[in-house]
Structure 1
């Protein structure tokens, strides 16, 4: 399968995008094995060089090695998240240990490490520019943190653990996806749809018909189905049924159960870093974060907990009182929260998702985000049907700067399907770097938004538009990259800094100047009424205390799992451990059969282990940074250029606090966040 394998040939398509339609599943393994072979020859050439080790022939050469392998692996694993199948998942389990072996072969190559160490110890870093110095530091520490100093026996153990972890994390995600896809709630009696908006009912009917249940309605655990059902369905018993199904994903003791996977992942992560001399996985992770230590993270989370708890408790009591006034009897449960919160919000502010949906047609929102990028950074987006895509739902754009020069390729992929995992994310198919040529990036955002139904186009909730802006902020971080080295380019930054470009962009959605660009009624073209914009602002802090507690609960649970030391690692009961970790944040009683850990892909499959606190950490940064835009104008060119040049384009080329201070003129303070969220 090497001859005419499209993955081994130059990508002869616009902007060297992968030729998706030509790639078959059987192409991946032989291509990756061949590219590993050639990449290891590159590494051997660097290691065996008779020339004295220098920055260029060792550090830079390493960064530039294996580029084709990286691109092919990115194509495969991106599609395994966005357009997978059982066969692809099986192949991922096969390829993952092979790629882990490859990585270990580089990072534990003693001869290569000796050259890296020689350059590191002999180089006067004051003579290097900031980016070169960062690459040297990151390369040297990367070897140390990957076991280069271990004994041969421990290197072997480290490699075995790394392989097992890679497979367990893949399996964890597969189980969550399988559970999400498997659940279907079929409704036959229209009376059970009471309270649901027409658009949601139409979507449920279309889903049912597509699954062979014509004349019925189907609800799933995909966000565009689950969320509005919990907010609007009058039938409390069905809300409970949906909630229990959602919160019990991968926690049923069957073949998709993730409890043992959670325990093994946590134990193996601790065992792996213990070999390197760390007491806990969080110690290892946070060494390379702005927060620096578990103590600082826990102090940060607990400080917010202290500030948010009184407000959250008051909000819960307010919703309980409102429900009682609506005739509700008994104890308010978690499956009642969204339903009565939505009604209370509507009563207080006369606003809800269904009022706003007609003004948030997806096509208009996309045009709006493009206009925002143009006003801030001079970017234009040109749809190019010649650029290959991996699914008919996906659109590809050529991104141009003010001079008409190519900046990036941008993919958008917005609707749920069975081959796509839940949630929303930004990813890269090719990183930006320079080697005499400025190789421009290929970035993508993948979401699960409300699809079109019948004769209605895709109409988004406000939260979905917020998600669009969030992920597009990540995409800008990738698109505007201007680094010499791919390992420092775009979103390759400290994990608690990576959410700044995404979260800051959400702020524009509360500004009339931004909403006027795109929020127009999908039928009449009328702009969103000014009083609606004011209602969005007025209601922006509604139940903010509760939402803060929810985020803190996840952050505290993440830290609890990943701060375990060797003598604490034996966890018998996943749910009991989780409940203890989240106890201070609980505002309702425990629900039998509910478990978050077994479906928490962010920390057990993605890159947020010992890092979920980053969302709240970055809120401090984004609130503080946006205050500059608020003061000088949300489309102020001078401020936008400073943010682009000091934050977006710089990637991980310097310590993020230095980049932030260069933009802001000072370190961030929590004041702007407390003010914005009403917690001050």
Structure 2
């Protein structure tokens, strides 16, 4: 193998961490080309075997195959999501159809499918471990789901659809990143940003300086519709400018317009679903999730939408009363909601969330909050490795060990926003754990916290604290999953189950000994006052009408687009009109409560992995809320509880049916009542 390409030689760094210091953009495509060829040859060697299929001559080598491709792909896609320079974006565009074609060549391989199908039919007669049996079942199901049973003409059309879709989803993300950067709001006068903290102003000034706009202030946009600053900006025009910029992304008729792109995505996904024997893309996706059908999803969303919309209207009335009491009254608009919500919160709970930031210094939240909770619950220790470096100077690397000193893996944190990073927050793996391959996990958490000027502390909002705990829940899932076969590694579980562990990890934010440890004033080291903590608990269901409604609206839009038949998707659809009709259908068409994501910047479903699956968050929250009840009933932050949760849920990765794993942990199926209570929907 060539030795001048670092991607084609095993990394000599601990845990196989890629040596990003020597990897150049020009290395990626040749490495992918070599990896594609190697994987193809490995699978061909399996299908050339003339003897009857066995686990040892089919499944084991299949799981061992594709290692180089997986390593190269995870190395590249980590960079393309978090540091997507123009050169990296160009590579990703070129790579998208190549990757799709290769994946299809494996998933649709008729000879491989016949061998796995034979094993699936004989699995009851074979001497298999539980993980081996489930591996056969999953490979058979996934290949069938992918279209391996189709005839050659249908496979050819399917491959063309997949390649075109991969190109379109890559284009959608590129357009969104470009428009998000272009629409960052420039302010000429600091008075327009009255209400922001010194740290927030510092970040805005730094963002302007980075763009060559000295003496100005730039507020970059978040992935979702709203923005944290809307709750504190006193200037109504500034709030309106910020929300208008956010909501116009991908729909301005410029080179970054996403409307034509998303309509083609919807049309081709519907055609692909029909080719595979399903009525819609939503039916296709949910058939291999725990939900099993779009009807089950729709039932849950409609059940929650009615009380959520009702509660949002009640909240809206209170906000309007505050406005009417002011000298210049006006009808509440979407850009006013967060600002006046804080006024109501202050009036009803004597609580100003924006004033809490001095208690949430990022490093302390990380060390004494997020990591300490994991140490207390699971006995793991985190040691920062200054000698190891990630793909960007902002990344930090931590080595993770069990209580007995045995190694777990590496955790990489990339906290700050930048123009080359896509919006939102996420976890991904660079290396997968596998006993078969002898590898330990390397996982990454990405957030988009504004970076203050040098010398200024990073103070988080409560929402950002929540995001940090949430994403670390994914990281723990990736670190703790202990499996033999890489197919089951880390967070490789059903999409509507994957959010469950991350949401459970949010419970430690308010746990007394954890909160007291990390929530300490940046200047005085005083803990967050007990009275404030009580008010935070008392206000947990506050504004949940809005929060639930904006989320459900986005989840319903996702379902609406992907429930279209081929004929419906082929119609001359207007994106804005379709959205309005869909939201009216479920009763979430309140102009003051915009959907969390509009279609043209809904990256989760049009460029991410959540198509027809954005419902997963609320679906998983049923399990999450029920699990939080279990922890409280059993003493909370105790090693015995952590060990049980790790062993029976996090540790199994995808090697077991997730609902079976949940029953093994909880002793029964999840109940919905804790979720309804949490979100104020119980009545």
- In which range does the TM-score fall when normalised by the shorter chain? over 0.9
Match of 1:622 in 2: 624
Q: What CA distance in whole angstroms lies between the structure 1 residues aligned with 2:660 and 2:224?
A: 40
Q: Secondary structure at the match of 1:517?
A: helix
8 Å CA contact 1:316, 1:587 repeated in 2: no
Tell me: CA distance 1:7–1:219, structure 2 relative to 1, closer, same or farther (3 Å). same
Residue 590 of structure 2 is aligned to residue 588 of structure 1? yes
Match of 1:302 in 2: 302
8 Å CA contact 2:580, 2:589 repeated in 1: no
Q: What CA distance in whole angstroms lies between the structure 2 residues aligned with 1:135 and 1:53?
A: 15
Match of 1:560 in 2: 560
Shifted more, 563-572 versus 397-406: the winner is 563-572
Match of 2:227 in 1: 227
Residue 443 of structure 2 is aligned to residue 432 of structure 1? no
Q: CA deviation at 1:271?
A: 1.0
8 Å CA contact 1:396, 1:410 repeated in 2: yes
Q: CA deviation at 1:215?
A: 2.6
Match of 2:647 in 1: 645
Q: What CA distance in whole angstroms lies between the structure 2 residues aligned with 1:4 and 1:210?
A: 35
Q: What CA distance in whole angstroms lies between the structure 1 residues aligned with 2:374 and 2:536?
A: 22
Alignment of 1:646-665 (within 5 A): 646-665=648-667
Tell me: CA distance 1:406–1:591, structure 2 relative to 1, closer, same or farther (3 Å). closer
Match of 2:34 in 1: 34
Q: CA deviation at 1:105?
A: 1.3
Q: What CA distance in whole angstroms lies between the structure 2 residues aligned with 1:223 and 1:498?
A: 20
Q: CA deviation at 1:455?
A: 3.8
Shifted more, 475-484 versus 177-186: the winner is 177-186
Deviations 1:84-126 (A, max 9, x none): 1111111111112112111111122222222112212122178
Alignment of 1:69-468 (within 5 A): 69-124=69-124, 127-222=127-222, 227-367=227-367, 368-435=369-436, 438-453=438-453, 455-468=455-468
8 Å CA contact 1:333, 1:588 repeated in 2: no
Q: Secondary structure at the match of 1:434?
A: coil
Shifted more, 257-266 versus 518-527: the winner is 518-527
Q: CA deviation at 1:386?
A: 2.3
Q: What CA distance in whole angstroms lies between the structure 2 residues aligned with 1:446 and 1:472?
A: 10
Q: What CA distance in whole angstroms lies between the structure 1 residues aligned with 2:427 and 2:555?
A: 21
Q: Secondary structure at the match of 2:410?
A: strand
Q: Secondary structure at the match of 1:432?
A: coil
Q: CA deviation at 1:451?
A: 2.2
Q: What CA distance in whole angstroms lies between the structure 2 residues aligned with 1:213 and 1:225?
A: 25
Deviations 1:256-311 (A, max 9, x none): 00001111111111111211111111111111111111111101111111232222
Deviations 1:495-535 (A, max 9, x none): 11111100011122122222012111112222221112112
Deviations 1:152-172 (A, max 9, x none): 111111111110101100110
Q: What CA distance in whole angstroms lies between the structure 1 residues aligned with 2:178 and 2:388?
A: 31
Q: What CA distance in whole angstroms lies between the structure 1 residues aligned with 2:187 and 2:164?
A: 42
Tell me: CA distance 1:90–1:561, structure 2 relative to 1, closer, same or farther (3 Å). same
Tell me: CA distance 1:635–1:118, structure 2 relative to 1, closer, same or farther (3 Å). same
8 Å CA contact 1:278, 1:284 repeated in 2: yes
Q: What CA distance in whole angstroms lies between the structure 2 residues aligned with 1:84 and 1:228?
A: 24
Match of 1:675 in 2: 677
Deviations 1:642-666 (A, max 9, x none): 1111110111111111111111111
Q: What CA distance in whole angstroms lies between the structure 2 residues aligned with 1:468 and 1:282?
A: 30
Deviations 1:571-600 (A, max 9, x none): 420111111111234363389999810100
Q: Secondary structure at the match of 1:649?
A: helix
Q: CA deviation at 1:190?
A: 3.5
Q: CA deviation at 1:389?
A: 1.1
Q: Secondary structure at the match of 2:460?
A: coil
Q: Secondary structure at the match of 1:408?
A: strand
Tell me: CA distance 1:191–1:388, structure 2 relative to 1, closer, same or farther (3 Å). closer
Q: What CA distance in whole angstroms lies between the structure 2 residues aligned with 1:279 and 1:223?
A: 31
Q: What CA distance in whole angstroms lies between the structure 2 residues aligned with 1:342 and 1:586?
A: 23
Q: Secondary structure at the match of 1:412?
A: strand
Shifted more, 285-294 versus 585-594: the winner is 585-594
Q: Secondary structure at the match of 1:451?
A: coil
Q: Secondary structure at the match of 2:430?
A: strand
Q: What CA distance in whole angstroms lies between the structure 1 residues aligned with 2:90 and 2:416?
A: 24
Q: What CA distance in whole angstroms lies between the structure 2 residues aligned with 1:362 and 1:668?
A: 34
Gaps of 5+ in 1: none
8 Å CA contact 1:508, 1:634 repeated in 2: no
Q: CA deviation at 1:208?
A: 2.3
Shifted more, 594-603 versus 581-590: the winner is 581-590
Q: What CA distance in whole angstroms lies between the structure 1 residues aligned with 2:407 and 2:73?
A: 24
Q: Secondary structure at the match of 1:478?
A: helix
Deviations 1:544-577 (A, max 9, x none): 1111111110111111111111221124201111
Show structure 1 runs of 4+ deviating over 6 A.
223-226, 590-595
Shifted more, 90-99 versus 440-449: the winner is 90-99
Q: What CA distance in whole angstroms lies between the structure 2 residues aligned with 1:254 and 1:125?
A: 61
Deviations 1:344-380 (A, max 9, x none): 2122222223321111111001102111111111111
Q: What CA distance in whole angstroms lies between the structure 2 residues aligned with 1:110 and 1:570?
A: 31
Gaps of 5+ in 2: none
Q: What CA distance in whole angstroms lies between the structure 1 residues aligned with 2:93 and 2:218?
A: 32
Q: What CA distance in whole angstroms lies between the structure 2 residues aligned with 1:664 and 1:36?
A: 43
8 Å CA contact 1:445, 1:475 repeated in 2: yes
Q: CA deviation at 1:676?
A: 1.9
Once superposed, what is the RMSD of the aligned Cα atoms?
2.0
Q: Secondary structure at the match of 1:403?
A: coil
8 Å CA contact 2:200, 2:452 repeated in 1: no
Residue 477 of structure 2 is aligned to residue 477 of structure 1? yes
Deviations 1:453-505 (A, max 9, x none): 45431000011000000000000000001111111122111111111100011
Deviations 1:602-652 (A, max 9, x none): 011111111111111111111100111112222122222111111101111
Tell me: CA distance 1:125–1:271, structure 2 relative to 1, closer, same or farther (3 Å). farther
Tell me: CA distance 1:450–1:225, structure 2 relative to 1, closer, same or farther (3 Å). farther
8 Å CA contact 2:185, 2:220 repeated in 1: yes
Q: TM-score, normalised by structure 2?
A: 0.96
Tell me: CA distance 1:489–1:296, structure 2 relative to 1, closer, same or farther (3 Å). same
Shifted more, 489-498 versus 319-328: the winner is 319-328
Q: What CA distance in whole angstroms lies between the structure 1 residues aligned with 2:238 and 2:311?
A: 30
Shifted more, 206-215 versus 285-294: the winner is 206-215
Q: Secondary structure at the match of 1:678?
A: coil
Alignment coverage as a number of residue pairs: 679
Shifted more, 614-623 versus 208-217: the winner is 208-217
Tell me: CA distance 1:125–1:158, structure 2 relative to 1, closer, same or farther (3 Å). farther
8 Å CA contact 1:376, 1:636 repeated in 2: yes
Deviations 1:437-457 (A, max 9, x none): 642111000000132345431
